[in-house]
Amino acid sequence: MQMNKNDQTPNKNDVYPELSLNVITRQEHNISRKHISDNALKVLYRLHGAGFEAFLVGGGVRDLLLDQNPKDFDIATNATPEEIRQLFKNCRLIGRRFRLAHIMFGRDIIEVATFRGHHQETTKNVSQQSKEGMLLRDNVYGTIDEDAERRDFTINAMYYNIGDYSIHDYAGGHEDLEDRLVRLIGDPQTRYREDPVRMLRAIRFAVKLDFDIEEDTAAPIEDMSHLLQDIPAARLYEESLKMLQSGYGLETYHLMREYNLFQQLFPLIASDFTQDYSSKTEQMLDLVLDSTDIRIEQGKRINPAFMFAAMLWYPLLARADMLMAKRKLSEYDAIMEASNYILDEQVRTIAIPRRHTATIREIWQLQLRLPRRNGKRAFRLMELNKFRAGFDFLEMRGEIETGETEQLAKWWQTFQNAGREMRQAMVSDLESDTPEQGKKRRRKPYRNKKNKVSSS
């Protein structure tokens, strides 16, 4: 690969090969404005009416061509962020690494980006790369041709022109859509170094769209997976939710693991991996991710805290067992201390917000409290805010651990569905079967018989 003499960065033509424009006329594609968000159309028309170029771009165009409903409608234009803000009163500029305009329509946000140029050619101090080639700041503006060259995957480099309703395809994305391929634009190794998260995006698109990853695009991923360790933990948290909580979590996890990407995000979990996927940690991963996918398909709410609590449970127990053996701690104290260690270590890689780590701790603590059902404890436990999450997790554990854990989960299932009298009977049965778990026997006061005789 050739280098520029001045900055020792790769030659532009090696990284961003010159692309040939293929214009697909309105008669040749299936995109209709009926399927484009009204708010996105408002932004497109206003930019176009003000004399700027305006294109619907990226995943929105890709999904419309696949007859799917886009999650977002992103727009690219030759207007600068400041010019966009002058056109829209409901505009907010965000971002340092990438300067973007958000046009606000209540809760609906239309993201507008200015065409990107090549950071290798700019003389402005608006672009910065690390020694490893990662882009740290990148506000270099250019033409639509340069913008297309800068996009990551061919299927994301198609532009819907509001001027004549044609599609501008710069990288053969339309052909790759037909061939069901995820293909990087440019040299894969250099593009992954620029932004290692592109490796995660390749996996996500392949699973979501049921595409294959093109051979050259896939080849460097496993060897370069360690570059994810340089990505800020806050960004990896957001990416982990996109990967695992978008309805395809189970399949995504297996493909990530195949390319050594999951191991970078969850090193504590990866230490339990086996060749035959037989460890309790691996069984729990399959169970919780499959359950999450089903809930999303059914339109039910999901909570990241529950997923992380389940994924990290068996690494937590292993740490607690070590503390009990080494420092003779009680089970409760060992789990409390182990929970601090496990969460601290995981947050180094994925910055799980504090509101979620607090919930994770509550779910874990409930696993210690749910076996203690005597007296009024069972009734009080059911009143706790996180009881349902704790019980759902107990049921998952029961599927894996069977035995006493499974029986405990079945008891709680029956208890929840029972009437008041039956619940009281269930608790009474527990106390009669296991008196040591019931009320403590009162010790009779000690009486001195000698004194009693003499006083009479």
Predicted local confidence at residue 99, as pLDDT: 85
pLDDT in tens, 216-234: 999 999 999 999 999 999 9
Total residues belonging to the chain: 456
Q: How far is CA 381 from CA 70, 160, 280, 421, in A?
A: 43, 56, 27, 17
Q: In the prediction, which pLDDT does 127 show?
A: 47
pLDDT digits (tens, 9 = 90+) for 167-203: 999 999 999 999 999 999 999 999 999 999 999 999 9
Section 101-127 average pLDDT = 77
The pLDDT tens digits of the residues spanning 383-396 come to: 999 999 999 999 99
108 catalytic residue (yes or no): no
Tell me the domains of the chain and their CATH numbers. Answer: 19-120+128-179 (3.30.460.10), 371-430 (no CATH)
Stretch 24-38: mean pLDDT: 95
Beta 22-24 vs 167-169: how paired, if at all? antiparallel
Query: What single-letter DSSP state applies at residue 381?
Result: H
E strand or H helix that includes residue 100: strand 100-105
Per-residue pLDDT reduced to its tens digit, 309-329: 999 999 999 999 999 999 999
Residue 447 has pLDDT above 70, yes or no: no
What pLDDT score was predicted for residue 397? 98
Q: Report CA torsion sign: 107, 112, 118, 122.
A: negative
By three-state DSSP, how is residue 371 classified?
A: coil
Q: Given a cut of 80, is residue 128 above it in pLDDT?
A: no
One-letter amino acid identity for 92?
R
Q: With cut-offs at 50, 70 and 90, classify the pLDDT of residue 96.
A: confident
pLDDT for res 348: 96
> How high is the pLDDT of residue 168?
97
402/455: higher pLDDT: 402
Q: For residue range 332-380, what is the model confidence (pLDDT) as tens digits?
A: 999 999 999 999 999 999 999 999 999 999 999 999 999 999 999 999 9
Q: Would you state the pLDDT for residue 132?
A: 56
Residue pair 19/171 in contact by the 8 Å Cβ criterion: yes
Round the average pLDDT of the chain to a whole number and report it.
89
Catalytic status, residue 152: yes
Band the pLDDT of 20: cuts 50, 70, 90: confident
Predicted confidence at residue 140, as pLDDT, reads 80
429 is catalytic: no
- 16: pLDDT confidence band, cut at 50, 70 and 90? low
Burial of 446 (0-12, 13-18, 19+ CB in 10 A): exposed
Instruction: Tell me what pLDDT residue 420 has.
Output: 92
Residue 449 structure tokens: 């018989």
3-state secondary structure of 167: strand
**437 pLDDT exceeds 60?**
no
Q: What is the pLDDT of residue 445?
A: 52
Residue 243's CB is within 10 A of a number of other CB atoms, namely 24
Q: Which among 138, 147, 152, 293 is annotated as catalytic?
A: 152
C-alpha closest to that of 161 among 19, 16, 22, 20: 22
Q: How many CB atoms lie within 10 A of CB 225?
A: 21
* Catalytic option among 63, 74, 169, 187: 74
Res 186: pLDDT: 92
Of the listed ranges 21-25, 70-74, 442-446, the one predicted with least confidence: 442-446
Strand 74-77 versus strand 108-114 pairing type: parallel
* Structure confidence at residue 364 (pLDDT): 98
